[in-house]
Each structure stands twice: as structure tokens, then as C-alpha cells.
Structure 1
Amino acid sequence: MKISTENYITLSSESHKEIIHFFSENNDSLVFDNITPEKLHSFKQLTEEIKAIKQNVNQKGFMVLKPLQELSLHENRFLSWIVISLLGEPLVQNKEGAKIIHVYDRDRTKKMEDGARYHQTRQGGSIHTDNVNVPVKWEYLVMHCVATAMVGGETILLNGNDIYNYLKESLPDVLSTLEAPFYWEYRGISDGTYQAPIVTYSEEGVAQFRYLRDYLESAHQKSGNPLTAKQLSALDALDSILEISDLQSRFFLEQGETLIINDSQVFHGRTTFSDFENAEVVDLDFTAGKRYKRTIDRAWVKEING
């Protein structure tokens, strides 16, 4: 899967007008909790364009929404929250009930191996899908680039169809193992574990993936069900496939861009990154010219039928 100009989308001039008008009347209340159904109803043209974006994401796997040059950094950030709300229902991602998670390095010494969640570290690798913390299936992973790193943090994407075809044609025994249940934990959300396969299928027979190895291994340990030699071999094979460079698409998500992914059909990851030594944590009043920590706003969105 290679990224092309077809994966980038710019909103129409009609949507621009709606958005500019909205910010002219609501610039003093730009927080996520202030996005009400009444306010969303004012975006007639934008709503139609979001429907088209969803169709493109379902067909191509992912799309990148370009920022509006007329808007400030924070206004473009707030626009991404509007887009998230128009895509469907943003889901809770932690015990505190947050629906938008700010992905940045909390502490250079924190690692997933020690129990930290991926979004709290600067670690790379760990190519995965996000729908691993809860058993309910949701459709869209949205990541808005608030600030980039000093160096690194390249986005990595792989098409799930390519991975499935590789498994089916070359490693059918591995595929069979991945279709059986594994243990998962509700990391960051609640205690306990649940079971689900890594590979399942939609009603149309399309392969869908659930995978983040570090979380899976932790869940097997917590549940007292150590991974078998067969399972470990299958996971090693899957990880090796995910590292094949010809199957990967790599690019830098630029400040203000919003990446929308069909989570169960596109794997994603990042390269290791490093922030400036004295980089600040982004706040609601962040402005151009300061050095901020690499920050991505992340949402899990479930499509609302009808």
C-alpha cells in the first residue's frame, strides 16, 4: 500500500465558508465538550463531505485531511474534533472517560515493557491496530497532528488485505492459528481480560485484524494462560510480515493534518522519535513559534447506522 495524492483531501470552498463562519461566532468556546448536536447541524456541506471521506476510507483504507490555511493551529485542531464527531460516535478510551487522547511522550524512561500505554511513550515499532482495548468493534481511528517531533515519528501503514493474502498464500497454518482466540486486556480502561481472534471476517468475507503484541502478551500473562509454542511462532511470523518494507507505506504526518484510518483493515505504527530537550506539553492556547512535544490527538470512532 503506497500513499498517493489520491489519499489526500482538501475541503471545498463551501465547507470553508461554513467553518470560517462557525469560528467567527464560537471562538471563545473551543473545547471538545462544547461540540453539541446543535452546533454540528450547522455544517450542512461539511457533513456531506464527511460522508464522501468515509466512503474513500472504506475503499482506500485511509485518507489524510489537509488543514485550512485560514485557521490558527488551535482552530484546525478543533476542526479535527468536529470531523471526529461527524464521522460517528467517539468512544471512551480510558478510565477517566476521555474520548480524545493526547498522544505524546510523558517520560523518556517509560516503556510499554514496563506497563506504559503505547501513546505515552516515544517508542517506535509495534505495528498494530488500535481496537485491542475493548471487545466491541469500531470503525475509524482518527489522528490529528498537533505538533511534530524534533526528529523521527514517521507514520507507517500497511494494508490488511496484503497481510491476509500473504498469510493465505504462503503461511496458511499461521493464518489458522491467528483465527483462533487469544487473550486481550482492557489496558487503561478497566481490569480483566477478554478473548478474541487476531483475524476475523466481515459479512462480506473481508479479513479484519485486531493486533498489538505487547498488550496481547501481557493479557496472556495476567490470565494465567501463557502463549503456546504454536502461538508464539504465529505471532513471530505476523511481526515479520509487518516488517516487510515493500508492504509498508511511510510518510510524515504534518502539523494540522488529520489521518483517518479504517482500523481493522489497516495496520499502523511509527518510528521512534525524539522531542527537543525543553519541549513543552501542548495546551489549549498553543501558538506557532514555540517548541512543543510531538503530539497527536487520537479518537476511536464507531459509525452510527442511520
Structure 2
Amino acid sequence: MSDDTLTDVSWDSDYLESHRELWSLPLTDTDRDALWRDASAGEWGPADSARRGLRSFALTSLRTVGFVHVRNLVDASAPEDAIVSALSFLLRDFGQVIPQNAQGDLTQVLRDRDGDGATELGFHCDTCDLLVLLCLQPAIRGGGMTKLASARRVHDIIGREQPRALAALREDWTFDRTGRAGQQLIVSPILFTQPDGAIGCYYQTRTVRASAERSATPVTARHWEALDVLDEVLYRPEIAFGLRLEAGELLVIRNSRVLHGRSPYTDVPGPASRRVLRLWMNTEAL
């Protein structure tokens, strides 16, 4: 695709590095403070122009590369409940915040639990339209990078190199999500063509592998091989783009277009520990 294409860009790490203007928006301190005041008050006033500019940029990024990164959105030293309230108000421009677990929680703060940060989180898609991540504190010792991969780029590579695997990935797969928020049993291709021609994705590696017995069609050696091909392509350095979120930075991912994961990190106890605020959203804006 040409550089000025505004839909379904097939990107890799090099493309994102050289086209940051497509997906990363730095806010000035003036705009940040104005947005914070209005969002905290629950009513748009002086920050309305900044709000409209942010919304326009975000929607364009979500439609082109499938995610948006906003730098300097909030002062992460503010009280956590105040950040949650202001961010929830700001996000009304994009859709509805939905529960992200069986307990009905609308927000969660992701942090190391019993050393699980040291385990890499594999590529997957969450079961919502938009995944929202706001960094409150990055991993002080490094690591904990969010990893992103373009569904279209992965689809095209597999189709070129392993068409038999792509054919299997475009078949229906069963994802048994019993006990989690939302739909409990999802049957979907892992890679597919959406009505608008964009390449879509739905993938949870552990869930799909554990759900084989509930599949309406037999999961054969060909299917297991296709999953292995998918994982190999996703972890190629040129495909897996790593993004370190700094305190106060926002990342919104369109789950139907971008797969995401997290690199391992070693945490420290106390206020310097890694903390990322997470929300799930459904939207009609895209």
C-alpha cells in the first residue's frame, strides 16, 4: 500500500518507526492540563478544541494502523481514582466501557502478581472492540513492553509462505471462555476478511488450544501446524513491534485488527512497581 492510504495499512516494525506521525500524538502540557480540568469536572469547556483534535487523530489512527498512542495524556502522579474518573469521561467519545471479567470490573490495574511479570504474555486479542491501556508506572528495571502485530501483515506473510496454514487459520476455531466476561463460547476464524475488506483477527493461543475438544469440527495435525506457523510469524522481530509506555501515556488497540502481547519484566515492590490501568470498550465509532 502507498504511504497515503488511509485504511488497513499493512505495517511492520520498520513502517511504524518511520511513520510515527500516523499513530503517536504528543500532547502539550497546556492541552493536557485543559483536558484534565474539563474531564475531571465532567463537562467540556475550554478543552473542547483539544478534545476534538484528539478524537479525530485517534479515530484516524484506529482506522489506518489499528491503534493509537497518546503521549502526555495525564499526570500519572495524580490520585488513581481521579485518573480513572477523568479517563472514563474522556473515553465517552469513543464508545462504552464494558466489564472485563466475570466479576464485572470496568477497570483493572495490571501489576506483577507473584512474579508473573517475568513470564512473557503471548500475542492475543481481547474480547472487546477496543483495549485501553494507560501507563501509571513503567517497569523501572526495563521490560514490560507492549508488543503489537498487524493482522493484515501476518495474514499476507502466511498466505505467501504457507498457504495451507492460512487456509486452516481462515476456518472456524472454537474458543471456550467459560467463566469469563462476555460471550462464553466463541466460534471464529483466527484470520479473516471483514465486510469492508480489512483483514480481521481473533486469537487467544492458550484458549484455542485448550478448546479443541469442544470444537464442532475435528482439530487435525494440519490445524496444530497452522497455529505453530502463526506463532512463528508473530514473533519475527520485523513483525512484533515493541512499544514501551511511559507514565501518563495512553495506548488504544483495535482488537479486530491488531494482536498484542507483553514482554517479560522483573518488578520491584512498592510505589515503583509497574502499574497499567486497563479498560475494555465497545464502539460504533469505527
Q: CA deviation at 1:64?
A: 1.2
Conservation of the 8 A alpha-carbon contact between 2:32 and 2:74? no
Structure 1 position 143 matched with structure 2 position 150 = no
Structure 2 counterpart of 1:57: 62
Q: How far does residue 212 in structure 1 lie from its aligned partner after superposition?
A: 1.3
* Alignment correspondent of 2:7: none
Within 5 A, what are the aligned runs for 1:99-178? Answer: 99-108=106-115, 122-131=118-127, 138-151=128-141, 152-178=143-169
d(CA) in 1 for partners of 2:123 and 2:156? 18
- The 3-state SS of whatever aligns with 2:272 is coil
1:8 aligns with 2:8: no
CA distance in 1, matches of 2:245, 2:181: 28
Greater shift after overlay, 72-81 or 149-158?
72-81
Give unpaired runs (5+ residues) of structure 2.
1-11
Are residue 291 (structure 1) and residue 272 (structure 2) matched?
Answer: yes
Structure 1's 82 and 244: CA in aligned 2 closer, same or farther, altered over 3 A? same
**What percent of counterpart residues are identical?**
21
Which of residues 82, 88, 97 is equivalent to 1:81? 88
Q: Secondary structure at the match of 2:61?
A: helix
SS in 1 for 2:238: helix
1:255 alignment partner in structure 2: 247
| Aligned equivalent of 2:187, options 195, 199, 208 | 195
CA contact 1:15–1:45 (8 Å) conserved in 2? no
Residue 100 of structure 2 aligns to a residue in which SS?
A: coil
Is the CA contact (8 Å cut-off) linking 1:89 and 1:304 kept in structure 2?
A: no
Unaligned runs of 5+ in 1: 27-38, 111-120, 132-137, 281-289
Q: Which residue of 1 aligns with 2:5?
A: none
Scaled by the length of structure 1, what TM-score is found? 0.75
Give per-residue Cα distances to partners, 1:124-164, cap 9 Å, x unaligned: 14112223xxxxxx432211111222432122111112101
Write the deviation string for residues 270-297 of structure 1: whole angstroms up to 9, x where unpaired.
1111211xx14xxxxxxxxx323x2211
Question: Structure 1's 302 and 233: CA in aligned 2 closer, same or farther, altered over 3 A?
Answer: same
**3-state SS, counterpart of residue 296 of structure 1:** strand
C-alpha spacing 1:192/1:270, structure 2 compared with 1 (3 Å) = closer
Asked whether the equivalents of residues 149 and 239 of structure 2 are also in contact (C-alpha less than 8 Å), the reply is: yes
Please give the root-mean-square deviation of Cα atoms over the aligned residues, in Å: 2.9
Structure 1 residues 46 and 100, CA, compared in 2 at 3 Å: closer, same or farther? farther
More displaced stretch, 2-11 vs 52-61: 2-11
Give the whole-Å Cα distance in 2 for the aligned partners of 1:172 and 1:60: 24
TM superposition shift of 1:165: 0.8
Separation of aligned partners in 1, 2:75 and 2:50: 16
Contact 2:132–2:253 at 8 Å: present in 1 too?
yes
**1:304 alignment partner in structure 2:** 284
Partner of 1:31: none
The answer to whether the 8 A contact 1:73-1:256 is kept is: no
TM-score of the aligned structures, taking structure 2 as reference length: 0.80
Deviation readout 1:77-114 (Å, 9 max, x if unpaired): 65433333322111211122112222222223x6xxxx
Size of the aligned set, in residue pairs, is 264
Q: CA deviation at 1:211?
A: 0.6
Structure 2 partner of 1:134: none
Whether contact under 8 Å (2:124, 2:204) holds in the other structure is yes
Q: Kindly tell me: are residues 101 and 20 of structure 1, through their superposed partners in 2, closer, same or farther at Cα, counting changes over 3 Å?
A: closer
Answering whether residue 245 of structure 2 is matched by residue 264 of structure 1, we say: no
C-alpha separation between the residues in 2 aligned to 1:127 and 1:100?
Answer: 21
Pairwise CA distance, 1:47: 4.0
